[in-house]
């Protein structure tokens, strides 16, 4: 059985493997995503080389398992710790994905400067030269005697340096630049990315290393094709934000050691990323006073309420009504405009409508519906809502305003930020605790909400 090769095809969208090539992936239906994957004799599909030792393992009772294994350490960056679920877990593999230039290398290099307890760190850079990395670390003011840099892309050399240096923490920047000489394809291809991640993972689990792997995302939003990576690693974090704004959000898509609800908020500044402890204050700074077409919404990001400004501009359409949405789902916005027209009696359907959320934030929670509808109505009527007003509530297709979860937390945050009035659903699930100085306006439907804060049509 000398070096027998087998070829399978792997979909870069969903990670599915098939024996034959096809133009369309039979599982997810994406076109042109099947890539050739050569397996050397002895390599197994889905995972290489495992299974031999596993056969000798005896199943254990769950009650007898040792729980002390999960030890966390702080990355030194509070917002990063929060997303990881209270610090990084020793021996875990964390994938940090994001569009090129969003700040992944900056975040991880800053972490190298902040980590305490004399942990030995190895930063493997396949993207930048040693000189470039040095310039960046000087700019970020990093002084850590236990930080080692290796500008290398060959997998064997990288793994050899794990043995030579015996680091506790490793950063691979990025997975698309490292390659395994035994795999016959270009760096960044599915076979390479998969095989390299496998090898890194095995080395990490054997030696108990904590590894942070950087993965670039292609324009479809998957990590350079391989969804394959997502199921192999312990934690998948995405770094998001508009490159034109300084606001950045770190979001967990998968976390074997914590919840995936938490987000970390950062601001990209002159000398690196700064944690934003009060995202609402930053998002609301510079709001126009008494201008029509703006309303503040309160959404929950994990356990943290965040207030964000929704702006709308509605003007009579010249020819074909245009609709543009930024930070809010297009279909959701179309639905809200239809509800406003049919249930609120405002003919906005024939108008050009632009809806924008300030700061590059995207509002995915339906709790922002009411604020969106009020911003549109305010622009349509050309009457301001007032800078002291916020709105919380989901809007249904009959124009009813529905209750949302964690209302009390949202209201306390709204009050804390100095708002004086808040529109809320008339039917609420929890009992509302009185909030100092915040006037609550309970409404049953869209018509009532508009009448209460914008007056008669
Ligand atoms: P980088 O971390 O290189 O992005 P990635 O690794 O995700 O590709 O970030 C690059 C951008 O960040 C670059 O456009 C410049 C900006 N930046 C700052 O604004 N301030 C800084 O201190 C640093 C280091 C970068
Ligand atoms: Mg980089």
With residue 440 as reference, give the H or E element that holds it. strand 439-443
User: Regarding the domain delimited by 282-454, which CATH topology (the fold level of the hierarchy) does it fall under?
Assistant: Ribosomal Protein S5; domain 2 (3.30.230)
Check residue 41 and give its pLDDT. 54
Give 191's pLDDT tier (boundaries 50, 70, 90): confident
Check residue 229 and give its pLDDT. 82
47 CB-near residues (< 8 Å, 6+ apart): 198
Is the pLDDT at 67 greater than 80, yes or no?
A: no
Give 51's pLDDT tier (boundaries 50, 70, 90): very low
Stretch among 2-16, 282-296, 301-315, 432-446 having the lowest mean pLDDT: 2-16
Reported as a single tens digit per residue, the pLDDT across 208-252 is: 899 999 998 876 655 555 567 888 899 999 998 877 788 898 988
| DSSP-derived secondary structure for 201-266 | HHHHHHHT-EEEEEEEB-TTSSBSS-THHHHHSSEEEEEE--TTSSEEEEEEEEETTS-S--EEEE
Cβ–Cβ < 8 Å for 102, 276: no
Reported as a single tens digit per residue, the pLDDT across 308-329 is: 999 999 998 888 888 899 889 9
Is the pLDDT at 14 greater than 80, yes or no?
A: no
Range ranked top by mean pLDDT from 119-133, 254-268, 421-435: 119-133
Is the pLDDT at 50 greater than 50, yes or no?
A: no
Cβ–Cβ < 8 Å for 340, 348: yes
Superfamily of domain 71-277: P-loop containing nucleotide triphosphate hydrolases (3.40.50.300)
Nearest atom within ligand 1 for CA of residue 99? 7
> Which residue is closest in CA terms to ligand 1's atom 8?
101
Beta-sheet pairing, 235-240 with 247-255: antiparallel
Check residue 48 and give its pLDDT. 46
HSE, side-chain direction, 13 A CA sphere, residue 226: 28
Check residue 47 and give its pLDDT. 47
Which ligand gives the minimal distance to the CA of 270?
Answer: 1
Neighbours of ion ligand 2 (CB under 5 A): 105
Is the pLDDT at 44 greater than 60, yes or no?
A: no
Rounded CA separation 240/307 (Å): 18
Reported as a single tens digit per residue, the pLDDT across 158-180 is: 999 999 999 999 999 989 899 99
**Pocket of ligand 1, candidates 111, 268, 271: which has the most ligand atoms within 8 Å of its Cβ, to mutate?**
268
Q: How far is the CA of 77 from the centre of ligand 2 (A)?
A: 18
What share of the chain has pLDDT > 90, as a percent? Answer: 52
Mean pLDDT of 281-288: 85
What share of the chain has pLDDT > 70, as a percent? Answer: 91
Mean pLDDT of 65-83: 84
N- to C-terminal Cα distance for the chain? 82
Q: What is the mean pLDDT of the chain?
A: 87
> Which residue is closest in CA terms to ligand 1's atom 23?
272
Check residue 40 and give its pLDDT. 61
With residue 281 as reference, give the H or E element that holds it. helix 279-284
Q: Ligand 1 site: residues with CB under 6 angstroms? A: 98, 100-106, 136, 139-140, 268, 270-272
């Amino acid at each position: 059985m000398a070096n027998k090769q087998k070829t399978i095809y792997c979909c870069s969208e969903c990670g599915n493997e098939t024996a034959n090539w096809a133009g369309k992936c039979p599982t997810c239906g994406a076109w042109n995503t099947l890539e050739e994957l050569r397996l050397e004799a002895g390599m197994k599909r889905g995972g290489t080389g495992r299974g031999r030792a596993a056969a000798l393992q005896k199943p254990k009772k769950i009650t007898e398992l040792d729980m002390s294994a999960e030890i966390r350490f702080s990355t030194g960056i509070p917002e990063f710790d929060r997303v990881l679920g209270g610090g990084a877990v020793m021996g875990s593999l964390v994938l940090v994905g994001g569009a090129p230039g969003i700040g992944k290398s900056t975040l991880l290099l800053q972490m190298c400067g902040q980590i305490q307890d004399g942990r030995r760190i190895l930063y493997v850079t396949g993207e930048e030269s040693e000189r470039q990395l040095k310039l960046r670390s000087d700019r970020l003011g990093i002084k850590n005697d236990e930080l080692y840099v290796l500008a290398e892309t060959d997998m064997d050399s990288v793994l050899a340096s794990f043995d030579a240096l015996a680091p506790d923490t490793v950063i691979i920047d990025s997975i698309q630049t490292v390659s395994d000489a035994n795999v016959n394809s270009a760096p960044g291809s599915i076979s390479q990315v998969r095989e390299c991640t496998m090898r890194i993972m095995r080395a990490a689990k054997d030696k108990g290393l904590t590894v942070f792997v950087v993965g670039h995302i292609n324009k479809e939003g998957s990590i350079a094709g391989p969804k394959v990576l997502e199921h192999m690693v312990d934690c998948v974090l995405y770094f998001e934000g508009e490159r034109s704004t300084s606001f950045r959000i770190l979001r967990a898509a998968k976390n074997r050691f914590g919840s995936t609800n938490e987000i970390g908020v950062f601001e990209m500044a002159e000398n690196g990323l700064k944690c934003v402890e009060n995202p609402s204050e930053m998002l609301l700074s510079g709001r126009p006073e008494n201008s029509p077409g703006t309303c503040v919404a309160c959404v929950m990001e994990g356990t943290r309420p965040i207030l964000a400004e929704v702006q709308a501009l509605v003007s009579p359409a010249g020819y074909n009504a245009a609709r543009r949405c930024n930070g809010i789902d297009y279909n959701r916005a179309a639905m809200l405009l239809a509800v406003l027209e049919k249930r609120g009696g405002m003919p906005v359907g024939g108008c050009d409508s632009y809806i924008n959320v300030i700061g590059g934030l995207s509002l995915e929670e339906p709790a922002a519906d009411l604020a969106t509808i009020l911003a549109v109505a305010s622009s349509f009527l050309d009457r301001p809502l007032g800078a002291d007003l916020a709105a919380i509530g989901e809007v249904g297709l009959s124009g009813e305003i529905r209750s949302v979860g964690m209302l009390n937390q949202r209201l306390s945050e709204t009050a804390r930020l100095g708002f004086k009035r808040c529109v809320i659903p008339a039917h609420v699930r929890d009992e509302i605790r009185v909030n100092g100085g915040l006037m609550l306006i309970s409404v049953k439907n869209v018509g009532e909400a508009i009448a209460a804060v914008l007056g008669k049509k």
